[in-house]
Chain A
């Protein structure tokens, strides 16, 4: 196995063009596990740790441009206002040591349905900036990014550079079910973001389908229910029947499997509970004007 250590982004793109089978590695929290277990034996490892711009983030007018290697700890510490859903998701990633190493680029590169960041990214709405030496950079909408179990829309010569995530214009929440209270792979996870500017709600579901997904029918139902009831303007408490229907539709969007971590029927059930609760929390936050905060986190 060759270990390629490009000094710059341009060198990295050149290396990836020359060796399309090279596996990029940054924090190593996913890739090294696979290598240690001998599940994967890539011909080349492409080390991105010398490329400092991948560790940077930039808060713009509309979006946060988040470098692929920005560790979860930094997201929790610095971006809780702009990216509250992702900050909450970051809290649930593994252990402090792993959060100091791992970043969103790894979750996107691996594209496991159990990646903790995915539901938050889907709910917030974002575009993944990828680049190749041959064709330059392009933005892949998050809705088109996940193409199958552990597969994404990257071409073989492309690398993930950053994620352009819409800054929160309303409350966001994130919940994850695991069978212990820390350091656990998601049995299933749920992200929700209220977007008052567009009067829409977006969702993300993790570990409950072959890929991370949005509960689109639930979103459409809720969007029209909120519109019809004038909820965005009158700030009323969402009626239980609307919340219930939303939860059921979220549950119905899930297409999980039975595995050693949980049963399919539990996952569907839990997605529904998380959907109802997180809708309650975000809506209460919106109507009480408590803003975009990441309440619930110490």
Chain B
């Protein structure tokens, strides 16, 4: 199933050839079998003697003043150890936030969204804690809800946040706009005059949930020094730490964090959830406190993907060349900022897609509303844009009268193309090639549901075993899409990572230990770290130290960045360790062989060898009685902020490209969809672990399919309340909804990146959605400007 490899002419890295289990091999994940067999210990499985259970009481309304809170009945319950509200917060700092500290630890006088934390309970049994929370009486005075751009920017609109003093406020036209990023390049107005065809569209993207399988959970243990040890499932320990310590009134060194078993993240664990609450309760009661959200609470316990309205105009000449693009992207950030400013930066800077367009007029904004807070999710602003620009490409190709794929290829960016931000694309950008590859695949056979004597295998049809059609009303459709995602944190962020690597001899064997604070959330990072250490240090045995805050920050497990940045840090620290090891070797053995002084030396197969392959020393012997340990930070190329007015600036580190071809069967009478195949091609620069790469691509592709045909958090526009906070009504694809996903992996090295690799976890989530939409449009002839597509949209009912 893994596809072809592409040779690039890049020099072969000799170090990877000889060390078993090094980079480029599909070594198996140490957590894989445990997870499949149910043995893996997730953060929700932790237990401590004498521990209490924490429970969060959340607002039942979206926007209201809190008139009064009465906790007396809850406090009087047997088994209840503490009930906390805003008044109990111990420090001056009472808010937290990723970019803007606008989120109250507990609501203060006002709630701004449905499910906002108002009070906390600690009790000796989870059920007692839940019942006690239910006995807290809160009187609300409801306020009008702000739910969309019109209500947010109305003349008399209530301000979601009064008195803003954040860095973005001076650049926005209304306090209910979190952040605004225009990008102006060339002259779209002038260029439009050259267009023979102009296509305008208005698109709506629904609110997607990360739907990670392990709900938010963690355990806070009070320590004798007045600090706290926190074991938690998160995406970035040090970012949590920076937000937790100030509201606890503790110095950072007194809050010691350790990553516990994480059951998926997809962006949903970038923000604080139960971390501060558990610490507050533990410090108040002097007892360990565990908090585990159930699925219902989890839907309120983390941010979602921004729903968006996108307004696009594209022009093309009659020979199919794009002339200009204008767009306006309105993202609903909900009640708190979370990652909204960065999502705006991505949405605007990637809004033109992987195409050459010299004249653009772009604006992306994120609103403050009383809808659920939205922030990071796989694809991060690029997903919404891709859905819209790819629909536009199909429409424009049709207007011009060109094949839809050829039209894209004609306008595809390549190495050297200038982005709307003025930044050149300075490494391979095989956009036309990945489109060619997905198109060149043979299509799945027509009417493949037909079995002997005219019967139907309903599993191959829309509706599946629900037995809604035996072929009646079923029409096939095929659609294509391609997308561009940035890799790493952008806009001048100091996006470094730290790795501590130790080499020593244990039981006569050279052993490496890799210690980082990287959150392994299921992406396979720890597998890759061990592979890198084997390749660089020539050892077989690599121990991965648990991730914690006793080592420097690894940055976030997001933005497709961990293999690039923390992988890069591990590689760098390994190289520094190797130098030390070689120094020891020169000191001990230098006089025995001239090559110690003259040759380039490598560590391979437990030995020091020359680049000519001659073994000089055994590592076990060389390191006898020695321990080499180095902790070092590593940085990719710096970026700069986008200009606030023009959006110009080299704001991104690297780009990642994927293309999809979707084949669907649509029951046009019932409006049900079966995706038959989602073929994909993606450049990953270098597949450090090909099996993991294919797994990431298939997972991302499926997550994109989900938001195409079923996934949406439905918010009542009248009340701003969530209507489907459960897996009964928030549907994610099952295996029967998941098509065959043939994967074609390209490896075109990026000379700027470690091993030439390209961050690859998010790109598959971009083009999957518009490809499925295009296929459904192809089958039905409908315009379908909203995702997810529901049966009502396909049947006009």
Residue-wise, chain B 239-277 has the 8 Å CB interface mask toward A (1 for contact) of 000000000000000000000000000000000000000
In the complex, chain A residues whose CB is within 8 Å of the CB of B473 = 273
Asked if A182 and B465 sit within 8 Å, CB to CB, the answer is yes
Asked if B179 is at the interface of the complex by the 8 Å CB criterion, the answer is no
Is A179's beta carbon under 8 Å from chain B? yes
Interchain CA distance A296-B791 in the complex, whole Å: 22
CA distance A237 to B648 in the complex (A): 69
Q: Which residues of A contact B731 (CB under 8 A)?
A: 179-180, 184
Distance between A38 CB and nearest chain B CB, rounded to angstroms: 7
Whether a CB of chain B sits under 8 angstroms from the CB of A19 is no
CB-CB nearest in chain A for B788 = A179
A185 near B670 (CB under 8 angstroms)? no
Hey, what's the 0/1 contact readout for B440-469 against A, CB within 8 Å counting as 1?
000000000000000111110011111111
- The answer on a CB contact under 8 Å between A185 and B728 is yes
Which chain A residue shows the least CB distance to B730?
A: A260
- Complex-state Cα separation, A91 to B736, whole angstroms: 13
From residue 459 to 495 of chain B, which have CB atoms closer than 8 A to chain A?
A: 459, 462-470, 472-473
In the bound assembly, the distance between CA atoms of A92 and B464 in angstroms comes to 9
* B669→A273 contact, CB < 8 A: yes
Indicate if the CB atoms of A266 and B792 lie closer than 8 Å: yes
Contacts of A91 in B (CB 8 A): 465, 467
Q: Please state if B670 and A180 are interface contacts (CB–CB under 8 Å).
A: no
- In the complex, whether A88 has a CB less than 8 A from a CB of chain B is yes
A261 within 8 A of B: yes
**CB contact under 8 A between A298 and B458, given known A91-B467, A181-B736, A260-B714:** yes
> Measured between alpha carbons, how far is A36 from B733 in the docked complex, in Å?
24
Contact (Cβ within 8 A) A277 B468 = yes
A-B contact pairs, 12 of them (CB 8 A): A92-B467, A177-B466, A180-B736, A180-B737, A181-B674, A185-B728, A260-B723, A260-B729, A265-B792, A277-B468, A281-B470, A298-B457
Q: Would you list which residues of chain A between 56 and 95 have a CB under 8 Å from chain B? A: 88, 91-92
List of A residues within 8 angstroms of B636 by Cβ: none
Tell me if B710 counts as interface (CB < 8 A to partner A). yes
The answer, among B296, B464, B724, for a CB contact under 8 Å with A182, is B464
Beyond contacts A181-B463, A277-B472: 6 other A-B pairs, Cβ-Cβ < 8 A, are A179-B710, A181-B737, A182-B465, A260-B723, A297-B467, A298-B459
User: Is the CB–CB distance between B464 and A260 below 8 Å?
Assistant: no
B463 neighbours in A (Cβ, 8 Å): 175-178, 181
When distances are taken between beta carbons in the complex, the residues of chain A under 8 Å from B455 are 295-296
- Whether the Cβ atoms of A180 and B791 lie closer than 8 Å is no
> Which residues of the partner chain A approach B457 to less than 8 Å between Cβ atoms?
298
Asked if B790 is an interface residue, CB under 8 A from chain A, the answer is: yes
Q: Are A176 and B466 in contact (CB under 8 A)?
A: yes
B294 nearest CB across to chain A (Å): 8
Q: A181-B736, A296-B455 are in contact. Are A266 and B729 (CB under 8 A)?
A: no
- Residues in B neighbouring A205, C-beta threshold 8 A: none
Q: What is the count of residue pairs linking A and B with beta-carbon distances less than 8 angstroms?
A: 108
Q: Which residues of B contact A291 (CB under 8 A)?
A: none
Tell me whether A263 and B467 are in contact in the complex, defined as CB-CB below 8 angstroms, given that A269-B797, A296-B455 are known contacts.
no
Residue B94 interfacial (CB < 8 Å)? no
Residues of A within 8 A of B538 (CB): none
Size of the B side of the interface (Cβ < 8 Å), in residues, is 42
Given contacts A260-B714, A273-B670, A298-B458, contact A173 B467 (CB under 8 A): yes
A222-275 at interface with B (beta carbon < 8 Å): 260-263, 265-266, 268-270, 273-274
Residues of B contacting A261 with CB < 8 Å? 729
A180 to chain B, nearest CB (A): 5
Q: A260-B714, A262-B792, A269-B795 are in contact. Are A182 and B468 (CB under 8 A)?
A: no
Residue pair A181, B466 in contact (C-beta under 8 Å)? yes
Q: Is A7 an interface residue (CB 8 A)?
A: no
In the complex, which residues of chain A have a beta carbon less than 8 angstroms from the beta carbon of B305? none
Question: Are B797's CB and A92's CB within 8 A?
Answer: no
Contacting residues, chain A, for B669 (C-beta < 8 A): 273
A161 to B506, CA, bound (A): 67
User: B736 and A179: CB pair below 8 A?
Assistant: no
Number of A interface residues at 8 Å Cβ cutoff, please give it. 38
Tell me if A187 counts as interface (CB < 8 A to partner B): yes
Known: A179-B790, A180-B734, A260-B729. A274 touches B468 (CB 8 A): yes
A38 touches B465 (CB 8 A): no
**CB neighbours of A175 from chain B (8 A):** 463, 466-468
Which residues of B lie under 8 Å from residue A266 when comparing CB positions?
671, 791-792, 795, 797
Q: Which chain A positions have C-beta within 8 A of B459?
A: 298
Known: A274-B468, A296-B467. A181 touches B462 (CB 8 A): yes
A271-294 vs B, Cβ < 8 Å mask (1 yes, 0 no): 001100100110000000000000
User: Do A262 and B724 contact each other (CB < 8 Å), given the known contacts A88-B467, A181-B462?
Assistant: no
Task: Report Cα–Cα, A269/B668, bound state, in Å.
Answer: 12
Query: Is A156 interfacial (CB 8 A cutoff)?
Result: no
Q: State which residues 320-373 of B face A: CB under 8 Å.
A: none
Distance of A270 Cα from B668 Cα, bound (Å): 11
How distant is B454 from chain A, measured CB to nearest CB, in Å?
Answer: 10
Residues in chain A within 8 A of chain B (CB atoms): 36-38, 88, 91-92, 173-185, 187, 260-263, 265-266, 268-270, 273-274, 277, 280-281, 295-298
Q: Is the pair A92, B795 in contact by a Cβ cutoff of 8 Å?
A: no
In the complex the two chains form, what is the Cα distance from A182 to B732 in whole Å?
11
- Is B672 located at the chain interface by the 8 A CB criterion? yes
* B130 to A, closest residue via Cβ: A38
When the two chains form their complex, are residues B795 and A181 in contact, meaning their CB atoms are under 8 A apart? Answer: no
Query: Using Cβ atoms and an 8 Å threshold, which residues of chain A touch B670?
Result: 177, 270, 273-274
Closest to B470 in A: A296
- Distance (Å) between the CB of A259 and the closest chain B CB? 8
**CB nearest neighbor in B for A295:** B455
Distance in angstroms from B716 CB to nearest chain A CB is 9
Q: When chains A and B are docked, how far (Å) is the Cα of A254 from the Cα of B226?
A: 65
Question: B759-797: which residues lie under 8 A (CB-CB) from chain A?
Answer: 790-792, 795, 797
CA distance A176 to B466 in the complex (A): 5
| A38 vs B465: C-alpha distance when bound (angstroms) | 32
Contacts of A36 in B (CB 8 A): 294
| Closest residue on chain A to residue B706 by CB atoms | A180
- Least distance between A24 CB and chain B CB atoms (Å): 22
- Give B662 Cβ to nearest chain A Cβ, in Å: 16
When C-beta atoms are compared, the residue in chain A nearest to B473 turns out to be A273
**A179 CA to B790 CA in the complex, in Å?**
8
B733 touches A180 (CB 8 A): yes
Closest B residue by C-beta to A37? B296
Residues from chain B with Cβ under 8 Å of A274 in the complex: 468, 670
Which residue of A174, A187, A260 is within 8 Å of B467 (Cβ)? A174
Are A92's CB and B466's CB within 8 A? yes
Q: Could you tell me the distance between the alpha carbons of A280 and B731 in the complex, rounded to whole angstroms?
A: 31
Query: In the complex, what distance in Å separates the CA atom of A88 from the CA atom of B466?
Result: 8
Instruction: Please name all residues of chain B whose beta carbon is closer than 8 Å to the beta carbon of A273 when the two chains form the complex.
Output: 473, 669-670
Instruction: Tell me the complex Cα distance, A105–B748, Å.
Output: 60
Name which residue of chain A comes closest to B674, CB basis.
Answer: A181
A59 smallest CB distance to B (angstroms): 24
Alpha-carbon gap, A287 to B608, bound state (A)? 82
Determine the residue in chain A with the shortest Cβ distance to B795: A269
Hey, which chain A residues are within 8 Å of B470, CB to CB? 277, 281, 296
In the assembled complex, how far is the CB of residue A284 from the closest CB belonging to chain B, in whole angstroms? 10
Task: Name A263's closest neighbour in chain B (CB-CB).
Answer: B792
- Report whether B791 and A92 are in contact in the complex, using a CB–CB cutoff of 8 Å: no
**Given the complex of chains A and B, what is the CA–CA distance between A183 and B731 in angstroms?**
9
CB distance from B313 to the nearest CB of A (A): 32
Interface string of B660-684 (1 = CB under 8 A from A): 0000000001111010000000000
Which B residue sits closest to A178, measured CB to CB? B466
Asked if A179 contacts B472 (CB within 8 A), the reply is: no
Contacts of A88 in B (CB 8 A): 467
Which one, B294, B468, B724, contacts A177 given CB within 8 A? B468
Q: Are B467 and A182 in contact (CB under 8 A)?
A: no
Taking CB atoms, residues of chain A closer than 8 Å to B467 are 88, 91-92, 173-176, 296-297
Q: What is the chain A residue whose CB lies nearest that of B735?
A: A182
**What is the distance, in angstroms, from A110's C-beta to the closest C-beta of chain B?**
14
- Of chain A, the residue at the smallest CB distance from B469 is A277
Asked if A182 meets B792 with Cβ closer than 8 Å, knowing A38-B130, A173-B467, A174-B467, the reply is no
